[in-house]
Every structure is written in C-alpha cells, then in structure tokens.
Structure 1
C-alpha cells in the first residue's frame, strides 16, 4: 500500500467568518434544536420548566425542513407544551435568518450537530445532546470539556440546571484557522477532480 498523506481538520462550520455572525442583541431565550431522535415529551418539559423558572422565551429551531422534517418534531413538542405563548417555532429558510435566530438565544440546547457547532462558533452557551458519535467526536477534537448528554439518557433536572448555568465555550483561534484550511483543502480537491 502506498504512503497516503491524511489530514484531519475540524468541522468546516467552525470557519464561519466573523462578518457572517449577525450583530443581533441576545433576548436570552433558549434555542432548542429539535431532532426526531429526542423524546418530545422531555423536550416539552424542559422548555416549559425553562419558561416557568426564568420567564424567558423558547425558540424551537428546525434545521432540517426536508426529509428528516424537524418542523414536524417541533410541532409535536409545541403541541404538548403549556407555555405556547412564549414559544416560537423557527423554520430554516436560509443561513442568515437561522444565524440571526440563534444569536437571539442566550443558550442552545443542541441536539442537531450543527446547532452545537454554530453556537460554539458564535460564542453562545451550549448544552450538547448527542444522538450520534459525530457530535462527541467533533467536540472532543476542539477540546470541549463540558458535559455532553446522550439523547437516550436525558435527565430533565440535570439538563435544565446545565442550561441555566451554561457559559459560552471559548473557541481557540487556531481551531478556526484549521477549519478554514478544511475549506481550502476541499476546494483544492474539487478543482483537481474537474
């Protein structure tokens, strides 16, 4: 087998430029990125308890409006909730709109992989809930040392405490530069294929 050079880079989303991060004032809402793997009853309970304890709003973030249909999941969570008047379903329309809505939040309960990565890149506190090893591995690669919850083992009391005490993870600038190299290498590869 010939020697093959292999390079490893952090997720490309971490290369999001500072110019792309909207200058939107945080409303201190909590963003919950929904996913079909999570228990909708637990998500509704977490959302309602957050509202009851803080008096702040909840945004149900729908990253996938296609085949995986986060909107359907968000509608189910919303349907169970008691505090509907303080809950908004945010459907993905374009990246700029989603970034503005994420920036409104003081913390993200990140079930969707890229909601977690975007929150970290944008300097927003995050409580990650992993439905696959992809999230755990990516967070390990960037040195994230906070608690990562398993979607199949959620303790609502513990998750709610984590949300209420969450602080933004300080992303090392070298990670951002490395993610930018990911984009450059990918572009180089595509050009070689054409």
Structure 2
C-alpha cells in the first residue's frame, strides 16, 4: 500500500542531504551510533533518527539510546512520527535512508531517495524482491559498518517501474471498493 503514495502527496521539500536512519529495536544501537557519527565526520552533514513506531515498539526509546551514545549530537535530530505528512517532509530532507523499518525503505524508494535496506524480517526482503530491487539488502544481525557506510555514501535512487506504482494504486482502489461494499 505504501507504493500507492500519489505523486501529489510527495512533499516539495529541498533535500538537505542528511542521512535518515529509521531505527528499530532489532538493530545494534552501538553500530547505528557508529554509522551516524562516521557519516557526520566524513560528510559534514546531519543525521535524522526516524521513529516510525511511537507506540508498543517505541522507536523513540531506541533513538534516544543511539543519540545518547553518539559523539555528534549537535548534528543529529530525533524525528518522532506525528502524522504522515510531517514524516514525508522529514524523509524528503534526506539524501539517503538507512532503512531498517519496512515503511522507511519502501517510502524512500517511492520518493526517489537512495536507500540502503537493513532487513530484520522477511517482509522487507520479500517486498524488495517483488519490485525487482537489485541492490544489497543487509541483515540486521550481520552489519559491517564499513560496508554499510560505503553503501550509504554511494547510494543511488532505485528507479521504480511505473507499472508497479499503477498496480499498487489499482490495488488500493479495489480494496477501498471492497471495504465499502462490506459496510
């Protein structure tokens, strides 16, 4: 359903070339802090710790832990999910996304932002396979910081096939019609 995001919903926000890191409890916070600090040291650009789940899984707690370990706090911002439009604007600020959360990875692809996916479940791997993604997908339990950082610095947008977007839009319409018939 995330692929059905209409072009009109993608905000016209100038990229700051920040690195967006969508945090998740399955990732090693020390490695995330190291990647963030090294990115800042090597590029002089900011990092946004993106918190998609502010409820049960509490990404904010994870982001606070990563932030607490980091050396470059002055160049790091914790972004809490408040609504979809605000999150889309913050994602659009980024020049690359280190996507641990499924939605961050798919949104980055849909928005034309380079992404380095780190999968903690088969859901991400399967979705990326379905859309023909050919880039490297890292396993959350096997992260090489040097390799991931190189991937971030060299990341290019994945060109999503227009037929996939159209199919996703049609899927949403059919789903909406089905729900309306059930009510």
TM-score by length of 1: 0.93
Q: Higher Cα Rg: structure 1 or 2?
A: 1
SS at match of 1:77: helix
Runs (5+) with no aligned partner, structure 1: 1-11
Distance 1:178 1:139 in 2: 15
Work out the CA distance in 1 between the residues paired with 2:26 and 2:127: 19
1:13-24 map, 5 Å: 13-24=2-13
Tell me the distance in 2 between the aligned counterparts of 1:191 and 1:80.
49
CA distance in 2, matches of 1:191, 1:84: 48
- Structure 1 residue matching 2:143: 3-state secondary structure: coil
- Residue 38 of structure 1 deviates from its aligned partner by 0.3
Which of 90, 95, 106 is the aligned partner of 1:106?
Answer: 95
Match of 1:34 in 2: 23
Give the superposed CA RMSD.
0.6
Q: Who is 1:62 aligned against?
A: 51
Q: Cα distance, 1:99 vs. partner?
A: 0.4
User: Alpha-carbon deviation of 1:147?
Assistant: 0.2
C-alpha displacement at 1:188, in angstroms?
Answer: 2.4
Give how far 1:83 is off: 0.3
Shift of 1:175: 0.5
Give the structure 2 partner of residue 84 of structure 1.
73
CA deviations on 1:62-114 (whole Å, 9 max, x unpaired) are 00101110000000000000000000000001111000000000000000000
CA distance in 2 between partners of 1:79 and 1:68 (Å): 19
User: TM-score if structure 2 supplies the norm length?
Assistant: 0.99
The structural deviation recorded for 1:191 is 2.2
Structure 2 SS opposite 1:107: strand
Q: CA deviation at 1:189?
A: 2.1
